[in-house]
Amino acid sequence: MVDSTDTANDDTENKKPSNFLRQIIDKDLADSTVQSIVTRFPPEPNGHLHIGHAKAICLNFGLAQDYQGQCHLRFDDTNPEKESNEFIKAITDDISWLGFQWHGDIRYASNYFDQLHEFANQLIEKGLAYVCDLSAEEARNYRGTLTEPGTNSPYRERSVEENASLFAKMTAGDFDEGACVLRAKIDMAAPNVNLRDPIIYRIRKVTHHQTGDKWCVYPTYDFTHGQSDAIEGITHSICTLEFEDHKPLYNWFLEHLPVPSQPRQFEFSRLNVNYTVTSKRKLKQLVDDAVVDGWDDPRMPTISGMRRRGYAPESIRSFCTATGVTRVNGIVDMAMLEFAVREHHNLHAPRVMVVINPLKVVITNYPDEQVESLDAPNHPQNESMGVRKVPFSKTFYIDREDFREEANKKFKRLVIGKKVRLRNAYVVKADSVVKDEHGEITEVHVSYDAGTLGQDPSDGVKPKGVIQWVSADKGVPITVRLYDRLFDQESPEKALDSDSGENDFMSCVNPDSFSELTHCIAEPSLLEASPEQVFQFEREGYFVSDRFDYRAGQPVFNKTIGLRDSWPKQEQS
């Protein structure tokens, strides 16, 4: 875990290109506008964090880290009916796993409910807030449009005394949900609709996961956010561009309340990745409709899903850094994230041999009872990772795709009458096959050259192919789950239903995004794999031992990613 005052360990992350936020901070420090940097990460605990949140985490914690400042973790818990402690735990786990540590204790917006309630009363006393009895539909009609001003509520001119009394009754639970709300009195004709008397308190008779039943009125996000920043002494409140239109309201509250500090809001472009959706509502729909197996399904773009898929936190941090920090929205190619994943695992993942689709092979000239223990490097480019022992015997398995009875010269694997090298073992030549009554090959009979262990054949003819194998006697069965991209269309957010014209992202779900194989055979060293350990299965890809379904002696591996990008390139829409 990396504290916000520590330096990053990964060399690739030490390269910190400048961006407009760093330029602002540099100037603020040089001008003594601030003495030190305090940022915050304020998620709502109503779901798991996704790849877009990962960038916000890296940015807020990373800036605090680089400038020897602080980053607070504060849960924006103003909607108790959608929030839970389960999500709070998932979010804290995600942040820690990514390699960051928040400053001090975990904070909650609910920590400030008493102060926020007092702020609301102060707005009432100043004549800047009123209790409004309009229904939700009526309020929408009064609000106006982007091109037409709104209309004042008929309750807008209630007296300070009446508003104070009504708000007290709201707080005491005397009104039903939806009966009334507390609104700020700003300007119903403002061009920015966020300033048209926004709601700052509403009635919610719901038990809160932190405060229990103390409250039946809860502040809105817009009212909570800036004041919470001010209470905590946040210097740079960094958020994504969709909050840019809320900034005037953020500042209005700070200007009209006796807050202890004056934080400033800065916006950057959110991280959008193709072949994904990052709307929490849509991610929740995938979970609720059982399209995926929970928020941490390895196909989900959630941090917990990517973790279970076998993505390294270093890869995610590297990817977030590489996407840059700008104020221009765009879409990043999923291949960029996948490249970062491959790049890390290529350097750090030990190699093992696994046969995904086994075909039995018998060496006809090998001693029946002999079992050799052969040395195999754990990483061919990194001797420091050592070697492991691999058992070799008369009967072994190869992948069915690595054998053909006949093939052209481009096929550099096992063919009748041709030679191939077994990885870290001998050269063998295919002589014949055994077939069942359906004509399916059940065995391949080969002969081996005993002098080719670590050496070329004596006849000087080097085999052109190398294939993986696993001893039939000593190999172990494993379960392999194959995962691919959840969506087979580049822009699922743009898919439209032909009848309603509304977004139909569900129509883009890839039907081949998951399959489970239970007949795979692995070298016995994989029995010692620990949960979340990543390996390169030779010539197959990178696989991770599942963090939850791990059982000693019965490993389950999730496919993290193939050795190369197999997705066809599509033109940007």
β-sheet bridge partners, residue 483 = 514
Contact present, 398 and 414 (Cβ < 8 Å) = yes
Distance, CA of 423 to CA of 426 (rounded, Å): 8
Distance, CA of 134 to CA of 137 (rounded, Å): 8
Closest CA to 470 of 423, 431, 517, 529: 423
Strand order in the sheet with 70-75: 38-41, 70-75, 107-108
Residue 270 annotated as catalytic: yes
Distance, CA of 481 to CA of 309 (rounded, Å): 10
- Half-sphere exposure at residue 168, Cβ-oriented, CA atoms within 13 angstroms: 8
Closest CA to 197 of 165, 241, 155, 227: 155
One of 82, 156, 280, 423 is an active-site residue; which one?
Answer: 280
Residue 86 annotated as catalytic: no
* Kind and range of the H or E run holding 397: strand 395-399
Contacts of 336 (CB under 8 A, 6+ apart): 319, 322, 323
* Kind and range of the H or E run holding 467: strand 466-467
State the residue for tokens 């990373």. Answer: 62
Residue 279 CA: distances (Å) to CA of 50, 177, 485, 522? 9, 27, 17, 39
Contacts of 517 (CB under 8 A, 6+ apart): 356, 357, 479, 480, 481, 482
Distance, CA of 269 to CA of 173 (rounded, Å): 41
> Tokens for 19?
């961006």
> Tokens for 18?
């400048």
Closest CA to 25 of 69, 55, 58: 69
- Angle CA 409–411–415, to nearest 5: 90
How many other C-beta atoms lie within 10 A of the C-beta of residue 46?
A: 18
Distance, CA of 247 to CA of 390 (rounded, Å): 62
Contact present, 259 and 105 (Cβ < 8 Å) = no
Q: Please classify residue 9 by burial: count the beta carbons closer than 10 Å to its beta carbon, then call 0-12 exposed, 13-18 middle and 19+ buried.
A: exposed
Strand order in the sheet with 358-363: 466-467, 419-422, 427-435, 441-449, 358-363, 395-399, 470-471
One of 44, 162, 343, 372 is an active-site residue; which one?
Answer: 44
> Tokens for 399?
């992948």
Residue 280 annotated as catalytic: yes
β-sheet bridge partners, residue 295 = none
Distance, CA of 569 to CA of 86 (rounded, Å): 39
Is residue 8 helix, strand or coil?
coil
Query: Looking at residue 50, what DSSP letter applies?
Result: B
One of 22, 156, 204, 270 is an active-site residue; which one?
Answer: 270
Question: Which sequence positions are flagged as catalytic?
Answer: 44, 270, 280
